[in-house]
Structure 1
Amino acid sequence: MYRYFSFILFLFLLLSGKVQAQKSVSAQIFAEVIQGVAATENQPLNFGRFITGTAGGSITISPDGQRLTRGEIIAEEGNYTSGQFLMEGDAGSTFSIKLPNEKAVLTHQESGKTMYVSEWISNLPLSNVAALNEGLCLIKIGATLNVGTVYENPVGVYTGSFEITFSYN
């Protein structure tokens, strides 16, 4: 009887198809390619026109475009602007910027003498992280120009460049 009952149970389990040693399941995989980060300079950082004295000083441009002089610097009329960059990318994503760690050098076009730009600041929160609302964000950059004496920094035009890095978080 035991063998008969075992045989019936074996047939029942075999024919029911519900007991299996392994089972394969199909699963889905997803990936999404998003727009890469793009940044363009809309407006250069410009400290404007000024006169320096015997002791030099500094000029600071804030991200909102305000100009402040210190020391023996006399600000003159004319254009001065914060640097402005348009950041483009995936709408709703967050990004960060890395401002320069080092001083930027401005060089006199005729004499080769230099001035230095430092103390970089942006209009973003202290963390330098922001969101791309509708895929766009305007970033404004300010800094301080350190000016020497008239001998160290003769009259003329000084030019230079700086680099900032934009990246998704």
Structure 2
Amino acid sequence: MQNRRFYNHTFLFLLLIFSVLEIKAQENPPIPIEVEVRTSRNLNFGSFTAGSAGGNVTVSYDDQRTVDGDIFELNFGQPVSAALFDVYANPGTIIQIEDMGPFILENQDTGLQIQLLINSFSTGHRTFVTQAPNAQVPNEVFVGGTLRIPSDNSGNLPGTYFGTFTLNFIHQ
């Protein structure tokens, strides 16, 4: 019987100790996520000529140009290059690239237009995790695309075409 009382008192004593002790913990404050994107190089398809059947001119993220259809590459003029964006963010930041296209490029002399699709990323996917050792070192993202040359152009497309494309870099 005395043993039972001892256990009851011990249990009651332990219950009081645990109900009086307050354990506090605080999680670390979240790391501020700031993402800055700078354009380092523009997307350039170089020089080419298009026949009346049209086709596509593609520049991949690694600066490789390919053509199909009634398109012929010319090896003079502007160099071919993928666009280059420097993304500054904390290491391990998850970033999703949102493409706002398709986009229209226009010849300012004639008003003629051709379509641009953004479709090639050095990150492999439109979502990636930053790998730079700190937020002062850029994560390089190379971006390529495709020009769609219409088939009804009747050879009326010569000239220089200008335009812009918009990508949203969304951090999570």
The structural deviation recorded for 1:139 is: 0.5
Structure 1: distance between partners of 2:16 and 2:53: 92
TM-score by length of 1: 0.77
Q: Which runs of 5+ in 2 are unaligned?
A: 1-8
Spell out, residue by residue over 1:109-151, the C-alpha distance to the aligned partner (whole angstroms, 9 max, x if none): 1121100012512011235323332133111111110113554
Secondary structure class of the residue paired with 1:58: strand
- Partner in structure 2 of residue 87 of structure 1: 87
C-alpha RMSD over aligned residues: 2.8
TM-score, L = length of structure 2: 0.76
Whether contact under 8 Å (1:99, 1:121) holds in the other structure is no
The match for 2:24 is: 27
**Equivalent residues in 2 for 1:137-156, closer than 5 Å:** 137-148=139-150, 150-151=153-154, 153-156=156-159
Question: Offset of 1:68 from its aligned partner?
Answer: 0.5
Identity %, equivalent residues: 22
In structure 2, the partner of 1:116 is 115
Instruction: For residues 74-95 of structure 1, give each alpha carbon's deviation from its aligned partner in whole angstroms, at most 9, with x where no partner exists.
Output: 1112311111101111123332
CA contact (8 A) 1:40 1:86 kept: yes
In the TM superposition, what are the counterparts of 1:96-135 in structure 2 within 5 Å? 96-100=96-100, 102-118=101-117, 120-126=119-125, 128-135=127-134
Contact persistence 1:62–1:82 (CA under 8 A): yes
Aligned residues: 156
Moved runs in structure 1, 4+ residues, more than 3 A?
18-24, 149-153
Deviation at 1:21, TM superposition (A): 10
| Structure possessing the higher radius of gyration over alpha carbons | 1
